[in-house]
Amino acid sequence: MVNGLYMEKPGRVTWCEVPMTQKLQADEVKINVIYGGICGSDIGVYKGKLPHANYPVVPGHEILGEVVEAGQDAKVEIGDRVVVQPNSYCGKCEFCRAGKTNICPEKKSLGINKHGGFAEYFVVSSNYIVKVPEKLSNERAILIEPLAVIVHALKKVTIAKGSSMAIIGCGTEGMLAVALASYFGAKITAIDINPEKLAKVQDHYPAIEICHPENVHENQFDIVLEVAGVKESFEQCIEIVKPGGAVVAIGFPAVAEIPVVKMVRKELSIFGSIIYNVPDDFLSSIDYLLDENFYVEPIISDIMVVEDFEKAYEKAASGKYRKIVLAF
């Protein structure tokens, strides 16, 4: 047993002894957790809004740590810093064989339907970790996993310098999308109903235009990225993208009404994008984060000691902050 966070049911999190494998399998590693990022899906579990979540559960899937013990077949060494790829897969189905582990029917997710890593120590197969380069700081390394979501989404479209792009939703993933699309040279408009979020985007990325959804014109953008996960936002994507343009949806409202005639007549390309492929999207994420010109410093709002987990969850759940990180 080790000390960690334990979610007995939605809304009830405690710091207590949690289960941990004592004897490592040949391919497993024991990680001393350094940072854990609180994600939107963590808040979904906390609020009881994810139907596939299981309780009780040790939360947390954005994990950065140091290897302190390794099985004989592990692919890393003691002392290596690593990030965890938190979604397991079967490795045998047609999708896994094609490298599309993100859509494996047997996929399980740490902190959602299997115990996660918000604990002092965490044991995982070395197949699900990626080594962090020495020169990458902890503060940038904890962004590898959430950035990989955006990396995967933007690989579905071609972003040329000067491409017009709308990003709907300015939470953590939306801000990461702003950062990466800016790095690619896109001309970006950030869209959100929350004026505080828009103000923060403009404060940190002054070249970005900001706009309330009501003030966006039709047929305006080459690419639209939907990150908000709201029915009205997805429906608006079809309206504001140019004919021949592309829509990429990361957020997923339960239902949305799509004007099929408009979609066909505008000859749109519409992509769904779920998490990432590993290790490729993680490695791409690392490459971007190693470049000092890739500006992601505004993404983390606060790093809080794990003893303040209640305040950290409250902050993250409020929607008023960007990434909240727990220090273990």
**Distance (Å, whole) CA 223 – CA 229:** 17
Neighbouring-strand partners of residue 88: 108
- The answer to whether residue 113 sits within a structural domain is yes
| CA 55 and chain centroid, separation | 22
- The answer to whether residue 171 sits within a structural domain is yes
- Where do runs of H (alpha helix) occur along 101-218? 138-141, 144-154, 172-184, 195-204
- Of the candidates 78, 76, 13, 74, the residue with the CA atom closest to the CA atom of residue 43: 13
> 264 is in which domain, residue-wise?
157-272
* 198 in the same domain as 166: yes
* Sign of the alpha-carbon dihedral angle for 105, 65, 325, 323: negative
* 233 in the same domain as 169: yes
Residue that has been written with the tokens 């235009």 in this structure: 209
**pLDDT for 175-198, tens place per residue?**
999 999 999 999 999 999 999 999
pTM: 0.96
- The answer to whether residue 151 sits within a structural domain is no
Single residue among 253, 272, 291 that ends a domain in this structure: 272
* 263 in the same domain as 124: no
* 137 in the same domain as 50: yes
* 167 in the same domain as 113: no
Q: What is the DSSP string of 59-73?
A: ---EEEEEEEEE-TT
**Distance (Å, whole) CA 316 – CA 322:** 8
User: What does the block give as tokens for 162?
Assistant: 């000067």
Residue-level pLDDT at 253: 86
According to DSSP, the β-strands at 187-191 and 108-109 are: unpaired
- The answer to whether residue 152 sits within a structural domain is no
- Of the candidates 278, 253, 254, the residue with the CA atom closest to the CA atom of residue 85: 278
The CATH number given to whatever domain includes residue 94 is: 3.90.180.10
Residues of the chain short of pLDDT 70, as ranges, are: none
Query: Both ends of the chain: CA-CA distance in Å?
Result: 16
**Distance (Å, whole) CA 268 – CA 245:** 5
- Angle made by CA atoms 156, 228, 170, in degrees to the nearest 5: 95
- The answer to whether residue 312 sits within a structural domain is yes
User: What does the block give as tokens for 327?
Assistant: 């220090």
* CB-CB contact of 176 with 143 (8 Å): yes
Residue-level pLDDT at 22: 82
Helix and strand element counts for the chain (H, E): 10, 17
**Distance (Å, whole) CA 87 – CA 61:** 9
What total of structural domains would you count in the chain? Answer: 2
Residue that has been written with the tokens 């690419």 in this structure: 223
Residue-level pLDDT at 320: 86
* CB-CB contact of 194 with 169 (8 Å): no
